[in-house]
């Protein structure tokens, strides 16, 4: 009976230690991306020529992604999403400059 209690206690301690290690690892900053910001910008500008407005490194669906906003020569704002691990262009979309999300929407 003592062996079962000791084994059970040891197992519980291992599970608790693993859980604590997982929490600590989750709080640490992610690994640096394989692709530098400069490389991501170069890829984005090759796809959408213009002037860089903003660059962000974010985590989406478990992977690091650069979101690069570009102002084109004709005044359009475009966003290019690039996989930070291999430079794959994931998405190119036009940004709406007159976004109404910030305005108060009250019933008329």
Q: Over the chain (108 residues), what is each successive 10-residue block's mean pLDDT?
A: 57 56 46 94 98 96 95 97 97 77 41
Residue 76 three-state SS: coil
Q: What is the predicted pLDDT for the residue at 31?
A: 82
Domain regions of the chain by residue span: 1-30, 37-97
Domain 37-97 coded CATH 3.40.50.2300: no
Q: How far apart are alpha carbons 77 and 24 in whole angstroms? A: 39
Output the pLDDT for position 60.
92
Q: What is the pTM of this model?
A: 0.62
């Amino acid at each position: 009976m003592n062996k079962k209690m000791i084994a059970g206690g040891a197992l519980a301690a291992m599970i608790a230690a693993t859980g604590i290690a997982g929490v600590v690892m989750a709080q640490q900053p992610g690994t640096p991306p394989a692709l530098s910001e400069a490389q991501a910008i170069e890829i984005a500008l090759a796809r959408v020529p213009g002037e860089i407005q903003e660059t962000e490194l974010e985590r989406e669906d478990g992977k690091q992604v650069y979101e690069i906003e570009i102002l084109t020569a004709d005044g359009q704002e475009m966003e290019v999403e690039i996989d930070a691990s291999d430079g794959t262009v994931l998405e190119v979309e036009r940004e709406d400059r007159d976004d109404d999300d910030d305005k108060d929407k009250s019933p008329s």
